[in-house]
Each structure stands twice: as structure tokens, then as C-alpha cells.
Structure 1
Amino acid sequence: MHSIDKKIEELKLNLPLMPNPIANYLPYKIENNILYISGQGPILDGKLLYSGKVGVDISVDDGIKASEICCLNIISIIKFATSNNWDNFKCFIKIGGFVNCASNFKDQPKIINGASDLLVKIFGENGKHSRFAVGANALPINMSVEIEAMVALK
């Protein structure tokens, strides 16, 4: 078992199946050893788990959990895109986080930390990344959080 799979198991996490896109786009694209992952929501088994505005419809803690689910979907896509071979993974480059929130909500970084912290727990130094965390007035299908990623491959 690869060390990344061991870490996922140690953290008692289950990777979901790679989610299907909800519109006309690719879930990922590889170009020049960069894996571009389309925005992922807090969706498991085709079901949206967190919807509405963070801080209004759902709590900050639930927003963080939503961010973690987005991250697990990203990891599933990496595993699929590398044909289940973690040796083809190099490191995270950047993630972009969108938080569905009211205009006076200021904790977007705290919400996206759910994903950032999980990446570092699983991938160590290779999970560290640049990022943005912004608020949005609305997100597709009313999801609470959406996260995209760029990953370097070997």
C-alpha cells in the first residue's frame, strides 16, 4: 500500500468515487504534467450534502466540513487521473476556494482551511499550495463551497 493510501486510512477517510460533472465540462484535464481539476462541491454519491450560504443557512463548522468533502473529491480525481498510481503525483500547486456567503461574511479563509489542512495532513509538504478563498453570492446548484485545484504530476 502506498504511503498516501496509508495516510488516508490512518485518518479514517474514505475516498468517494470520482464525481461526474454537473454541466458540460471535463472533471479534469492534464497538460504539460499539470493536472487541472474543475471545481468540486460537497457532493457524495451524487448527493449535495451542504447547500446554501455559509453563516446563514449552514454553520461555519459545516462550511469547513463541506470544504473537506470538496477536497476528498479532488483527491479522488487525482487518483483516477493517475491510474491509481500515487508515484505519478508530485505536489499541489494551487487551490481556489469559493464560499457561498452573504456580503458581510468574512471567514472565507477559515472555510477553505478545511481543505488546505486536509491536504497537508495527507500529503505533507507536497500538500502545501498557494490558494485563494473568496466569497460568492451564489454557486452552482446552491452548493455552499466549491474548490478547484492545480496539481503537478511527474
Structure 2
Amino acid sequence: MNTQAAIEARLKELGIELPTPPAVAFNYIPTRMGAGTLWVAGQVPFKDGKILVEGKLGGGVSAEDGQKAARQCALNVLAQAKAALDGDLGRIRATLKVTGWVACTPEFYEHPKVINGASDLFVEVLGDIGRHARCAIGSPSLPLNCAVEVDAVFLVD
């Protein structure tokens, strides 16, 4: 079982500092909790107040840059989860589902490789409870011209 202290130690060991959760810009809430489940709304790759990777995979954005964007999205998911859980990521018992959207050209087909940037981050930080079911989807566009968006569903105490 993960504890908040264990997760914080893992973050420090990985050299990761979770960002301040990005502010909501539209008409939705960043998280919703009920029946032991935490849903985190889709997070785009905001870093330091800017979109980290813009554009389309297969249209000038590399799969590696897409992975970096997915990783940043996952960091933002964890930041939103931490805020919703009163600062205690140790309350997460399982990562149930991750969905990743990839802005791409019709010819691009490496969606799973891109979304691995998020999946790998969840497992690095949360260990086995970071393993999850997943869907990786291509999209003709995403909000704010971002290259990737990721949401997640967690089982929580």
C-alpha cells in the first residue's frame, strides 16, 4: 500500500515536483469524487502557464514530443488528484482507467506510444497501483492546439 510519504519520497527520487493544478478555463470542474472513485477531467500539457507541446502528431510534432506532452498531462492529472484528496495521494488505491487523446493527422497511428508517456509516469510515481486500463485515441484537434490530453479515474479511500 502506498502512503503519502512513500509517494513524496518517490517523487523526490525521480526529481519530480508536481505543478500547481492548472486553473479551469471553461465551464467544468477539474475533479469529481463519489462512491470511492475520483474522476480527473482531461488535462492538457500546461507547464509554467503555457502549453508545452502544440500542434499535431504526424504534422510536425514527433512521437517523442508527444510523449513529453503526455507525461506533462499526467503530472497535471496527479496535481489535480492531490488537490482533490486534500494533499494525500496515498489515498489512491488503484488507477482504474486512463484515456489519452492525441491530436494527429489521419496517417498517424502511434497513439499508444505517445500515451505511454502518461502511463509510464503513473507507474513511476504510484508503482503497481499506477497500472491501469487505457484507451489511446486520435483526434483532428484538441483544446488550445495542444498535442495531447489525458484524463484518469482512480479508486480512492
- TM-score normalised over the length of structure 1: 0.96
After TM superposition, the structure 1 stretch with the greater mean CA deviation from structure 2, 84-93 or 116-125, is: 84-93
Q: CA RMSD in A?
A: 1.1
Match of 2:60, SS state, is coil
Deviation at 1:85, TM superposition (A): 1.8
Give the AA of the match of 2:143: P
Secondary structure of 2:99's match?
strand
Q: What displacement does 1:5 show?
A: 0.8
Secondary structure in 2 matching 1:29: strand
User: Which one of the candidate residues 32, 47, 67 is aligned to 1:29?
Assistant: 32
User: C-alpha separation between the residues in 2 aligned to 1:3 and 1:39?
Assistant: 26
Take 1:125 and 1:7, find their aligned partners in 2: how far apart are those partners? 13
Counterpart of 1:2 in 2: which secondary structure? helix
Which residue in 2 is equivalent to 1:147?
A: 150
**Distance across 1 between alignment mates of 2:89 and 2:147:** 30
Q: What SS does the corresponding residue of 2:105 show, helix, strand or coil?
A: coil
Q: 1:101 aligns with which of 100, 104, 121?
A: 104
* 4+ residue segments displaced more than 2 Å: none
Q: Distance in 2 between matches of 1:50 and 1:142?
A: 9
The one of 9, 13, 18 aligned to 1:15:
18
What's the CA shift for 1:55? 2.5
Give SS of 1:126's match.
helix
Separation in 1 of the partners of 2:147 and 2:90? 33
Gaps of 5+ in 2: none
Q: Tell me by how many angstroms 1:73 deviates.
A: 0.2
Deviation at 1:33, TM superposition (A): 1.3
1:44, distance to aligned residue in structure 2 (A): 1.6
Identify the residue that residue 60 of structure 1 maps to in structure 2.
Answer: 63
Tell me by how many angstroms 1:91 deviates: 1.4
Match in the other structure for 1:80: 83
Identity score, percent = 37
Gaps of 5+ in 1: none
Structure 2 CA distance for aligned equivalents of residues 62 and 134 of structure 1: 17
**Per the alignment, in what secondary structure is the counterpart of residue 51 of structure 1?**
coil
Q: Is the 8 A contact 2:55 2:145 kept in 1?
A: yes
Q: Work out whether residues 55 and 101 of structure 1, in 8 Å CA contact, stay in contact via their aligned partners in 2.
A: yes
| Structure 1 partner of 2:8 | 5
Give the Cα–Cα distance (whole angstroms) in 2 for the partners of residues 138 and 21 of structure 1.
19
Alignment TM-score, normalising by the size of structure 2:
0.94
More deviation, 39-48/61-70? 39-48
Question: What letter is aligned with 1:123?
Answer: L
TM superposition shift of 1:93: 0.4
